[in-house]
Amino acid sequence: MIKRQTTINRIFKVSGTGLHTGNTVNLEFLPRREFGIAFVHKGIIIPASYDMVADTRLSTLIAKSGATVSTIEHLMAAFYFSGITNCLVYIDGPEVPIMDGSAWEFYQGMWKAGVYEFPENGVYLKVLRTVEVARDDAYLRVKPLNTLDITMSIEFRAPVGKQKKRVTDVENAFSIINSRTFGFLEDLEAIRKVGLAKGATLENAVAIGEDSVVNPQGLRYKKELVNHKILDLIGDLYTSGYRILGKVEANKTGHHLNNLLLKELFSDAANYSIY
């Protein structure tokens, strides 16, 4: 387990295409002494925090003083798996690049950059009371536990159907890191009409057709789709600013409910402790 605050050991850069804008985006990662992850766009520092989230349609978008950065969830998950608590990310566009649709390339960059540890604590948030949010048959709850334990259930039309997965050793669940985002071909036209998914290709997403996965190489894992929903959840939960310790039960959750859970969690200081 991570014991202290950390940052990257050296500067590194990443470039890629935005999933929704279709434009090339450049990122530069800098070590940071101050606690937390933050983006710098248009000269404005935007904390990667749940209370900065301004939109949750198909991604998590943060905003401050007119500057926005969207699709931060995969990068935030990479920070989580890398054990990085503090970092400044300069970005020259409004969206984090999708890369291969997973968090793997971000994770590799952080691994190569190395980790520098500070003596300060304040890394973990331990859940003390059950917190739950729900909408229709979708729900997300977290219960007290001394580790992070996630059970995720999803349900979509065939050929996906119902999938469920439990991860008990989340910090070492590396199959989650390189599971890709996914979508249904029949939804693509409507999504593009509202100005999203302009950069979606078979190189950065799993495409699901009428009765099968369209990508020539198929899936990386049998449960890649539910894996990716866990990846999204981990990235969104890391906008809490802490490594959460609790038993998480998720059913048909998405970015909106993920953000609502954090707002509910922080609404009462009796729900958690920091150490």
Residue 232 lies in a domain: yes
* Cβ burial 213-237 (10 Å sphere, 16+ → b, else e): bebeeeebeebbbbbbbbbbbbbbb
pLDDT of residue 125: 98
Residue range 117-169, pLDDT digits in tens: 999 999 999 999 999 999 999 999 999 999 999 999 999 999 999 999 999 99
Statement to judge: residues 266 and 136 lie in one domain? yes
Residue 32 lies in a domain: yes
Quote the CA–CA distance of 36 and 47 in Å, as a whole number: 7
| Exposed/middle/buried for residue 136 (C-beta within 10 Å: 0-12, 13-18, 19+) | exposed
The stretch 31-50 carries a mean pLDDT of 97
Q: Domain of 229: which CATH number?
A: 3.30.1700.10
Residue 1 lies in a domain: no
Statement to judge: residues 101 and 213 lie in one domain? no
Statement to judge: residues 146 and 107 lie in one domain? no
Statement to judge: residues 199 and 74 lie in one domain? no
Statement to judge: residues 102 and 177 lie in one domain? no
pLDDT of residue 107: 98
The stretch 23-48 carries a mean pLDDT of 97
Question: Residue 243 belongs to what domain range?
Answer: 124-274
pLDDT of residue 192: 81
Is 255 marked active-site? yes
pLDDT of residue 3: 81
Q: Domain of 101: which CATH number?
A: 3.30.230.20
Asked if 26 and 15 count as a contact pair (C-beta separation under 8 A), the reply is yes
Averaged pLDDT score across all residues of the chain: 96
Statement to judge: residues 26 and 158 lie in one domain? no
More confident residue, 6 or 210: 6
Quote the CA–CA distance of 217 and 17 in Å, as a whole number: 21
pLDDT of residue 188: 80
Task: For the beta carbon of residue 162, count every other beta carbon within 10 angstroms.
Answer: 9
Q: Of 65, 85, 117, which residue is a domain's last?
A: 117
pLDDT at 1 over 80: no
Structure-block tokens of residue 158? 């065939």
Statement to judge: residues 14 and 138 lie in one domain? no
Residue 146 lies in a domain: yes
Quote the CA–CA distance of 210 and 201 in Å, as a whole number: 17
Asked if 211 and 158 count as a contact pair (C-beta separation under 8 A), the reply is yes
Statement to judge: residues 105 and 128 lie in one domain? no
Q: Of 85, 117, 149, which residue is a domain's last?
A: 117
Residue range 175-204, pLDDT digits in tens: 999 999 999 998 887 888 887 778 889 999
pLDDT of residue 143: 98
Task: For the beta carbon of residue 10, count every other beta carbon within 10 angstroms.
Answer: 11
Residue 101 lies in a domain: yes
Asked if 248 and 148 count as a contact pair (C-beta separation under 8 A), the reply is yes
Statement to judge: residues 113 and 130 lie in one domain? no
Q: How many domains does the chain have?
A: 2
Statement to judge: residues 90 and 182 lie in one domain? no
Structure-block tokens of residue 207? 């495409």
Statement to judge: residues 106 and 209 lie in one domain? no
pLDDT of residue 194: 81
Structure-block tokens of residue 107? 């994770």
Residue identified by tokens 């992850």 is 37
pLDDT of residue 21: 87
Cis-peptide into 159, omega within 30 deg: yes
pLDDT of residue 131: 98
Statement to judge: residues 111 and 195 lie in one domain? no
Q: Of 92, 117, 142, which residue is a domain's last?
A: 117
pLDDT of residue 178: 96
| Catalytic residue chosen out of the listed positions 20, 74, 228, 255 | 255
Residue 239 lies in a domain: yes
Residue range 52-106, pLDDT digits in tens: 999 998 899 999 999 999 999 999 999 999 999 999 999 999 999 999 999 999 9
Residue 139 lies in a domain: yes
